[in-house]
Amino acid sequence: MADVRFVDSSGLGLLALVSQNFKLAQGRISMLRPQSYVREILGLANIPKLIPVFDNEQEAVTGRAEAA
């Protein structure tokens, strides 16, 4: 997500829908390195409660293993 500079309500809705679909399929999804503006918008929409956000790949791998 490092190259994503903008997210609107449609994108947030899609992220929530994708999160639900993964949860129903007993899958997992996470985000890696969103830009600060995008991270702020995700936080305001409470998306990190649905989809974990990580700053680096090691955190993502470790976080995913701990959640399993």
- What is the C-alpha separation between 9 and 55, in angstroms, rounded? 23
- What is the C-alpha separation between 35 and 21, in angstroms, rounded? 25
Whether 62 contacts 29, CB under 8 Å: no
**The pLDDT of residue 67 is above 70:** no
- What's the pLDDT score for residue 64? 63
- Total residue length of the chain: 68
- What's the pLDDT score for residue 21? 96
DSSP string, 25-44: TT----EE---HHHHHHHHH
pLDDT in tens, 54-66: 999 998 888 765 6
Whether 67 contacts 29, CB under 8 Å: no
Whole-number average pLDDT of the chain: 91
Average pLDDT score over residue span 28-54: 94
